[in-house]
Structure 1
């Protein structure tokens, strides 16, 4: 019998040995050092997405099962045996199919550019610190989209149905992930409220003193795993109604972007062509 749905739930994390040295990543994995970036949060997001889409999830789908599947994917990689696994970096793609069939793949990835992928969230642009701290990665260029992306279940959950994100990237000739690119697109809903970028959550420096403000979940944005952690730590706060709109962003302003694979990055907004 064919599946009643034509999409899968998805989450993408990172495997990197250095993550076991970060206390905050250990705390987020129930106190156990983990080479996966916020894996327990990815698990929670998959369960939340299943509930939103009304999928039954087998009780045997546990965090332990997810971790074991990720471990199997890493060791199955044909290049992993050439070096100690913990010396490698992998992009971990987790798929959950209806009604709860799990599959995980691992592909080699570039290592993190800094020891702590959350570190850039500690900086906010201010008169005393107008430029971002030195970093090994180049600034992202974040283009304001020209078309609204309506909020729905597929913006609130991460799935393989990503036509709306692909369309936004196509408008700026940005290749689809995982092809590397320094360009991204800033999305907004039908009410003109900023939501996210095509592959990242985002925050803007607002207020005095400035703090990082991220779009509210009520906008229909994806509640990403790094976003959740940053909110829990108070490093970002949710925007008030109408605080972040397409008409209120400023050309050239610095933004903080983040997701569950690369952590935090700094970008700069670009309006117009």
Structure 2
């Protein structure tokens, strides 16, 4: 699913934020939507380290109906224990217990550079995020080295295949 695509200029505060604020801050900056994959992803070296094998991410994107990288949509992957582990092209952060929380290292997702940067600066903590705890409309932060940090909103409507979280 390689594509050449233009990336708009990213403001420095999106590349190096000093904090992620509160979920209710800046509602006008929520342009992305996030849905949940329809099935768990088996964890392993391929999910934890950046490799050429992106088949599990491509599968999740396809099942969510995300056809290009130009769409402002993302899909969350979860493991067999229903723990959110990663997103297809970004690191997710969820507001839990008054703090921005990124999935634990041992949940099976990649340990990317923006994730490490956010943890080192205290912008977030590691924690367990369960797929069935996601709520329609909740604000989620996403990050990757190309786009920086950006806000999204979780939507059940676009969940892969059947529109519902896993049982």
TM-score, length-scaled by structure 2: 0.84
Q: Does 1:155 align with 2:52?
A: no
The CA distance in 2 between the partners of 1:259 and 1:107, in whole Å, is 15
Greater C-alpha radius of gyration: 1
TM-score, length-scaled by structure 1: 0.53
- How many pairs are equivalent? 154
**Structure 1: gaps (5+ residues):** 1-105
Structure 1 counterpart of 2:8: 110
Q: Does 1:263 align with 2:148?
A: yes
Which of 221, 224, 230 in structure 1 is aligned with 2:118? 230
Q: Could you say which structure has the greater relative contact order, defined with CA pairs below 8 angstroms and 6 or more residues apart?
A: 2
The CA distance in 2 between the partners of 1:257 and 1:191, in whole Å, is 22
The alignment partner of 1:168 has SS state of helix
Q: Which runs of 4+ in 1 moved over 3 A?
A: 106-109
Q: Name the Cα RMSD after superposition.
A: 2.0
Which of 81, 97, 102 in structure 2 is aligned with 1:214? 102
For the 8 Å contact 1:120–1:266, the answer to whether it is kept is no
For the 8 Å contact 1:226–1:260, the answer to whether it is kept is yes
The CA distance in 2 between the partners of 1:163 and 1:224, in whole Å, is 18
The CA distance in 2 between the partners of 1:139 and 1:159, in whole Å, is 29
Deviation at 1:158, TM superposition (A): 1.1
Which of 31, 38, 59 in structure 2 is aligned with 1:146? 38
Deviation at 1:107, TM superposition (A): 7.8
Structure richer in helix, relative to its length: 1
Structure 1 counterpart of 2:22: 124
Q: Does 1:251 align with 2:136?
A: yes
The alignment partner of 1:196 has SS state of strand
The CA distance in 2 between the partners of 1:244 and 1:157, in whole Å, is 20
Structure 2 counterpart of 1:201: 91
